[in-house]
Structure 1
Amino acid sequence: MRATPESQSRLAYFELEKLIVTSKLAPGSVVTEKQLIALAGYGRTPVREAIQKLEWQGLMQVRPRAGLQITPLNPTQQAMVLEARRQLEPLATRLMAGNISPTYRKRLIDCAKTMTECSITGDSEGYLAADRHFDEIVEATCPNPFITQALATLQTHSRRFWFHSATRQLLELSVDLHVRVIRALLNGDAAQAEKTMAALVDGLIDYAGTTSVIGKERLQGG
C-alpha cells in the first residue's frame, strides 16, 4: 500500500531524528535541505514537515541564508529532561497497565527480547531503536494523550543524551530497568509499573550525575 503524505512525513521525521540522536548529523553542524532530502530518502514536502517538527522540538535551528543547524548538545539540559520525565512517565505507565491489547502485549515481549539481545552484544543503536518502539507502545496505549504528547519530545532528547553518554554499564542498566517495567505491564500491575518506571528514570538520573563528560567511553553500535 502506497504511503500517504502524512505517513511519509512521519517516516522522514523518524529517519532524521535517528540521525540526530546518533550524531550521524553531528551536534552544531550545518546542513542543507537538499542534504536532508537525500539522507531521509523522501521528497521535499515530507522533509520540510519533518524539519518543522524537529525545529519545534529544539533539535534543529533554521538559520536564514546559512542553512539548518543541528542543535548543539547542552549537558545542563539533561537534568531538566530527566526531571520532567520523572514526573510524567511513571503516571503514563500506570495508566497504560490496564489498557494493553494482545497485539501490544506481543510487541512488549518482542521489545524486551530485542533489548536483552542488544545488552548481550553491546548494540547501542539497536537498543535505541527498541527504546523508541517502547515509547511508541506507551503512546499508543496510554489513555491520556496530553501526557504522551508532552513525553514525546522529552524522550527524543533523552535518547540523544543517552547515546552520547552510553557505556556498556549504562546499556546493561537501561535494559535491566526497562525489562522490569515491561514485566510489570505484562502482569497488569499498575502500581508496580509506576514504581519500576520511576526506578528507571531515577537510575538514569543517578548515572547522569556520575558522568561528567558526554561521550566518555561511548559505545559503538553493532
Structure 2
Amino acid sequence: MAKNPSNGGGRGLRVVGTEEETSDSGTKQKRPARTNRVNHFELAYERIENLIVKCELKPGSELSMQDLQDLIGLGRTPIHHAVNRLALDTLIIVRPRHGLRIAPIDLSRERLLLSLRKDIERFVIELAAQRSGASHRNQMLHLNRILRERREVMDINEFNEIDRRIDQLMLIAAGEPFVEHTLRPLHTIFRRTGWLYHRQMPGSADLKATIDVHLSVLDAVANRHVDAALQASDALIAFVDDMFDDLEAKIDPSLLDVSIEPLCSQPRD
C-alpha cells in the first residue's frame, strides 16, 4: 500500500478540516471533520458580522471574497457560506462579477424594520418569561450582575458582546427556533446602528441608559413577570426609536454610506 506523502523529516502535512481514524488493519486514513467544518462556517459568519457591527467593514464599502479571506483568516468555503448568510440577512450585497458591497445604513428602512422587531421581540420575550428554566434564569442573573458591575465603565464593544449574549439567551429560553432566522439579522442591523450612534454622536458615549433598559428586560424575564417583561421590551424599542431622531438630524451621511462624498466644512471658491 502506498504511503501518505510527507514533508521533510518524515512529518506529514496537516490537512485542515480532516481527522485521522484508524482502520481495522491499523492504517491511518483521513476523513472529513464535519464538526470542524460547521465550526468554521459559524466562526466565519461571526467574525464578518462583528466587523460589520463595529463598522470596520464600513457601510457602503466594496471588497472581494479574497479580501474577506485575508481579514478573517479562514478558507474560501466558510467565507462563501458566511457571505451567503449575510446576504440573506441584507448585511452584504453580492454583485456577480463585481465583488461584494457592505450594505449601507438606511435610516428610513431601519426605522420601518424597528416596528417589525418590536412585534417579534414581544413574542420572544413573552415566551422566554413563560418557558425559561433554572439554567436560563441563572445565565440571565449572571449577565445582570455583569451589567450592574460594569455599568459605569462599560464601552460599546463590551456592551455589544453582552447584548449579543442576551439576545441568544432569550431566543433559546423562548424555545421557538422559527423566529431566530428573522430576529437574529434584525439584532445585528440595530447593533451596528447603535455602535455608530454611541461612537459618533456627540454626548452619546455614555451607555447607562441603554444598559438600564436591558437590565429591566433581564430582571422581568428572570423573575417570570410576563407583563413587566413586555413593558420592558417596549421601553427598549422606544429607546432605539429615539436614537433615530438624533441620527437623522446630526449624523454625517458619509458614515452611513462611504460612497457619499463627505461635505466640506469650508465653502469652495
- Name the TM-score, length of structure 1 as normaliser: 0.88
Name the structure 1 match of 2:41.
9
Indicate whether 1:68 and 2:89 are aligned. no
Q: Secondary structure at the match of 2:251?
A: coil
2-side partners of 1:215 and 1:106: how far apart?
42
Instruction: Give, as a single letter, the amino acid of the residue that structure 2 aligns with 1:4.
Output: N
Indicate whether 1:102 and 2:134 are aligned. yes
Percent identity of the aligned residues?
Answer: 27
Alignment of 1:195-210 (within 5 A): 195-210=231-246
Instruction: Give, as a single letter, the amino acid of the residue that structure 2 aligns with 1:200.
Output: L
Q: Secondary structure at the match of 2:105?
A: coil
Distance 1:17 1:179, change over 3 A: same
Shift of 1:141: 1.4
Instruction: Give, as a single letter, the amino acid of the residue that structure 2 aligns with 1:164.
Output: L
Shift of 1:77: 1.8
Shift of 1:112: 2.4
Indicate whether 1:193 and 2:225 are aligned. no
2-side partners of 1:162 and 1:117: how far apart?
22
Alignment of 1:43-62 (within 5 A): 43-62=75-94
Q: Which runs of 5+ in 2 are unaligned?
A: 1-18, 20-32, 199-203, 256-269
Instruction: Give, as a single letter, the amino acid of the residue that structure 2 aligns with 1:135.
Output: D
Name the structure 2 match of 1:214.
251
Name the structure 2 match of 1:151.
183
Instruction: Give, as a single letter, the amino acid of the residue that structure 1 aligns with 2:65.
Output: E
Q: Secondary structure at the match of 1:98?
A: helix
Q: Larger strand proportion, structure 1 or 2? A: 2
| Equivalent of residue 113 in structure 2, options 81, 99, 109 | 81
More off after superposition, 135-144 vs 43-52: 135-144
Q: Larger helix proportion, structure 1 or 2? A: 1
Count of residues in correspondence between the two structures = 216
Shift of 1:189: 1.1
TM-align CA RMSD: 2.3
Q: Which runs of 5+ in 1 are unaligned?
A: none
Q: Deviations over 1:5-41 (max 9, x none)?
A: 2222112101100100110111111112122123223
2-side partners of 1:99 and 1:160: how far apart?
30
Name the structure 2 match of 1:39.
71
1-side partners of 2:67 and 2:79: how far apart?
10
Greater RCO, CA 8 A, separation 6+: 1
Name the structure 1 match of 2:215.
179
2-side partners of 1:23 and 1:69: how far apart?
13
Q: Secondary structure at the match of 1:61?
A: strand
2-side partners of 1:12 and 1:151: how far apart?
20
More off after superposition, 125-134 vs 144-153: 144-153
Q: Secondary structure at the match of 1:90?
A: helix
1-side partners of 2:147 and 2:75: how far apart?
32
The question of whether the paired residues in 2 share the 8 Å contact of 1:86 and 1:202 is answered with no
